[in-house]
Amino acid sequence: MRKLVSLSVMIGLFMAFPAENSYAEPISIKVSCQNNITDHPGQALSTFKKVVEEKSKGKYKVDLYYSNSLGACDTVVQGIQFGTIHFGFETTSNLSQFDSRLGITDCPYLFLTAADMAKVINSEFGKTHILNILEKKGIKIYNIIPSSYRPMATIEYWRTLEDIQGKKFRSTANKIHMGIISALGMTPSPLPPSEMVPAIQQHVVDGSDTDVTGLISYRFCDVIKHVLLADYSVVAFAFFGNDKWYKSLSDEDKAVFDEAANAFYEDLKKRYETATEETYKELREKYNIVITQLDPKEKARWIERTKKVYDLLDPQQKELVEQIRVELAKNS
């Protein structure tokens, strides 16, 4: 009988003090991504998931939702504010509807290289003047990741300002994008992504821009003959989440999500760098597309022509642009 009592006590103690880091029901973390699972962000998010689940030792389970399956950008942001979604991944252009200052990544020739942008965003200035832009709306931006510059996809061969005067060019409805196209002497034609390639094929427009990988994923490669690398505007994405929820976490859990967000950033950065070169190689070798880099002297003319776009910015955007230029001058 004594042995049975001892055994009962041991079982009771075991039940009262479960094995360290064992969780009966892991906490579900919802992550929304505008891209599909095969795109580079979709693939890199698997790194975020792995780090969170391993480092938290099963406390958290990350559920990834692709292709805007939880809703468009405004719906996702609202979900994050309400706490029904934990993280989101969207373009800074889309997020600029919530604070126009995030539209500075679209500004023409503000960041002459992707490295310039990364230095500013990841600096102390970036943390206190850019990554915190949405905090008053309950949103924490973990990082901003440049994908590529917007290449110009065309049937005709363009290499100078004279070549593009009067041309019709597909644009987003973003006022900065439209301003760039107009300043360069073309007529902007706002069209959704699904209509970009058909519009070129049917000669509704003479060209369109996109991010580099979009030249193949959107099938520009089937209709265009030329790509001009004018490097006037950056395609950038933000990884963001619920700020109140993050601040409610223990220091240990905060460290887990910080590490996972940084791992996601580094993974996606490498994927984009590799993808750019691989895309250009495939376009040349498989599709016989001519890729032209804008001549430095010609580029100077494009920079001069697009300066007027900065007149379109609101006061907050202009202030931030001037601060960024000061930071860029420090790093030069």
The fourth-level CATH superfamily of domain 152-233+288-331 is Bacterial extracellular solute-binding protein, family 7 (3.40.190.170)
Question: Which pLDDT band holds residue 245 (cuts at 50, 70, 90)?
Answer: very high
Query: Using one digit for the tens of pLDDT, what is the confidence trace for 197-227?
Result: 999 999 999 999 998 999 998 999 999 999 9
Report the distance separating Cα 79 and Cα 76, nearest Å: 5
* Confidence (pLDDT) at 69: 93
Question: Which pLDDT band holds residue 286 (cuts at 50, 70, 90)?
Answer: very high
* Confidence (pLDDT) at 52: 98
Question: Are 31 and 48 in contact, with CB atoms under 8 Å apart?
Answer: yes
* Confidence (pLDDT) at 23: 57
Q: State yes or no: pLDDT of 327 exceeds 80.
A: yes
Question: Are 215 and 153 in contact, with CB atoms under 8 Å apart?
Answer: yes
Report the distance separating Cα 295 and Cα 291, nearest Å: 12
Q: State yes or no: pLDDT of 231 exceeds 80.
A: yes
Report the distance separating Cα 146 and Cα 135, nearest Å: 21
* Confidence (pLDDT) at 173: 87
The number of C-alpha atoms within 13 Å of 260 and in the hemisphere containing its C-beta is 27
* Confidence (pLDDT) at 172: 87
Residue 35 sits at φ, ψ, to 5 deg, of -90, 165
188 DSSP β-pair partners: 169
* Confidence (pLDDT) at 285: 97
Q: State yes or no: pLDDT of 18 exceeds 90.
A: no
**CATH number, span 27-147+235-276:** 3.40.190.170
Question: Are 168 and 206 in contact, with CB atoms under 8 Å apart?
Answer: yes
Question: Are 142 and 254 in contact, with CB atoms under 8 Å apart?
Answer: no
Strands (E), the chain: 27-33, 60-65, 87-91, 139-149, 152-154, 168-171, 187-190, 207-209, 226-229, 234-242, 290-293
Share of the chain above pLDDT 90, in %: 84
Q: State yes or no: pLDDT of 271 exceeds 90.
A: yes
Residues of the chain with CATH 3.40.190.170: 27-147+235-276, 152-233+288-331
Report the distance separating Cα 147 and Cα 77, nearest Å: 21
Query: Using one digit for the tens of pLDDT, what is the confidence trace for 106-147?
Result: 999 999 988 899 899 999 999 999 999 999 999 999 999 999
Report the distance separating Cα 73 and Cα 219, nearest Å: 24
Share of the chain above pLDDT 70, in %: 92
* Confidence (pLDDT) at 330: 86
Q: State yes or no: pLDDT of 3 exceeds 80.
A: no
Residue 63 sits at φ, ψ, to 5 deg, of -105, 120
Q: Please give the radius of gyration of the chain, using alpha carbons only, rounded to the nearest integer.
A: 24
Averaged pLDDT for residues 8-22: 44
Give the angle 88-241-239 at the CA atoms, nearest 5°: 50
Rounded to the nearest integer, the mean pLDDT of the chain is: 91
Q: How far is residue 288 from each of residues 154, 281, 291, measured CA to CA in Å?
A: 13, 10, 9
Query: Using one digit for the tens of pLDDT, what is the confidence trace for 25-50?
Result: 899 999 999 888 888 999 999 999 99
Q: State yes or no: pLDDT of 6 exceeds 60.
A: no
Report the distance separating Cα 216 and Cα 226, nearest Å: 13
Q: Which two tokens stand for residue 149?
A: 């510059």
Backbone CA torsion sign across 95, 99, 102, 108? positive
